[in-house]
């Protein structure tokens, strides 16, 4: 690729998950920060019903007609993945896809599988890393096999629910507990249950989002997050700390109320910082992540130390999102972060092509 050649940056946003709105906001900020001297941006919206479209509003703003809104509208001229990707790999130029999709049908390996078939480089983890990280139950199982500490938990399928299960879980894990859909992010569908009856209700709520449920013993500890960037040799940002404005760091606290407090860098000792950074990289590699991920921990200062909470392979990029904040604090600007993610996508595709073209 010539140094003066524009990269076609296909930005996918919206999607069919409950995190649709977060994705539309994330995309607006990424597009605004991308350097127009380096990228020719093609905004592709995916509606809640799965319809793909060349987003009219974003396209007009990029052409200089009107301002780019803070939340993109995924509607426009309907297209298909074949329309977008057909021939891209052989067209001679450079095309990179940025799948800014959060949650199921976007962050879980489904879209990544489609992109693998196109042969076009894309930002973020591949099929296995995306699917494994998205499913909290399976991620916990794999991480446990690698000796990575975590809170006590139980995972079960909807078909395994019995009338006596809430009481059994309370006796086993204690109260309070957190109840989560196994495949969802942004704290959607998550409840804190302090009684058996509340636990029963929380299971019902979680089941509206996924057929697999994770119930975790509550942890009294600090919430520490680390941003990881890279492919085979990833690096970790300075850690950050979330001080929730609500009883726990829920959806409203993350995206609507801005009631939480973020401490960047987190007030940790040099030894603690190095420990959590090394642990974040270990988690990233264990789950076969690539490109980027935000690794979330609980920190019991006078107990078990750092406990893995969850992994987000396509974290939010809104103005109050931790992933870009952590890298900015680590010396990488928002625009430079986008450049690095694009470079990593191209690097990985070239590495894989070498293996498959023999």
Kind of pairing, strands 7-14 and 95-99? Answer: parallel
The CA distance from 253 to 186, in Å, is: 10
CA torsion 120→123→128→134, rounded to 10°? -140
Residue among 178, 268, 185, 180 at smallest CA distance from 226:
268
User: Structure tokens of 165?
Assistant: 């299960």
User: Structure tokens of 337?
Assistant: 């972060």
List the catalytic residues. 19, 186, 255, 294, 296, 310, 312, 316
Kind of pairing, strands 240-243 and 222-230? Answer: antiparallel
Element (H, E) at 39: strand 39-46
DSSP 8-state code for residue 34: S
CB contact burial 311-343 (16+ within 10 A = b; e otherwise): bbbbbbbbeebbbbbbbbbbebebeebbbbbbe
The CA distance from 89 to 226, in Å, is: 34
The answer to whether the beta carbons of residues 186 and 22 sit under 8 Å apart is yes
The answer to whether the beta carbons of residues 92 and 76 sit under 8 Å apart is no
- Within a 10 A sphere around the Cβ of 347, how many other Cβ atoms? 16
Residues near 40 by Cβ (< 8 Å), separated by ≥ 6? 6, 7, 8, 9
The CA distance from 96 to 341, in Å, is: 10
């Amino acid at each position: 690729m010539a140094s003066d050649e524009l990269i076609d940056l296909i930005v996918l946003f919206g999607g069919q998950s409950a995190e649709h709105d977060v994705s539309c906001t994330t995309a607006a900020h990424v597009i605004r920060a991308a350097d127009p001297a380096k990228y020719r941006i093609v905004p592709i919206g995916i509606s809640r019903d799965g319809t793909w479209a060349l987003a009219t509003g974003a396209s007009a703003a990029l052409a200089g007609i009107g301002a780019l809104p803070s939340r993109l509208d995924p509607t426009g001229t309907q297209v298909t993945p074949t329309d977008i990707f057909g021939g891209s790999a052989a067209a001679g130029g450079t095309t990179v896809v940025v799948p800014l999709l959060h949650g199921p049908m976007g962050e879980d390996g489904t879209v990544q599988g489609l992109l693998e078939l196109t042969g076009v480089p894309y930002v973020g983890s591949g099929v296995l890393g995306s699917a494994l990280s998205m499913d909290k139950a399976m991620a916990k199982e794999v991480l446990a096999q690698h000796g990575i500490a975590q809170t006590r938990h139980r995972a079960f399928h909807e078909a395994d629910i019995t009338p006596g299960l809430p009481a059994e879980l309370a006796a086993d894990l204690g109260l309070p507990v957190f109840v989560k859909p196994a495949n969802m992010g942004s704290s959607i569908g998550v409840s804190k249950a302090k009684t058996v009856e509340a636990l029963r209700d929380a299971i019902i709520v979680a089941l509206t989002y996924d057929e697999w449920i994770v119930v975790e013993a509550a942890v009294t500890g600090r919430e520490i997050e680390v941003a990881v960037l890279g492919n085979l040799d990833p690096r970790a940002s300075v850690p950050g700390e979330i001080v929730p404005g609500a009883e726990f760091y829920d959806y409203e606290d993350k995206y609507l109320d801005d009631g939480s407090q973020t401490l960047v860098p987190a007030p940790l000792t040099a030894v603690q910082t190095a420990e959590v950074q090394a642990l974040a990289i270990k988690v990233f590699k264990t789950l076969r992540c690539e490109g980027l991920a935000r690794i979330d921990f609980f920190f019991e200062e006078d107990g078990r130390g750092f406990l893995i909470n969850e992994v987000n392979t396509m974290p939010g990029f809104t103005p109050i999102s931790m992933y870009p904040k952590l890298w900015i604090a680590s010396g990488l600007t928002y625009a430079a972060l986008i450049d690095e993610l694009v470079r990593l996508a191209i690097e990985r595709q070239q590495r894989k092509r070498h293996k498959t073209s023999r």
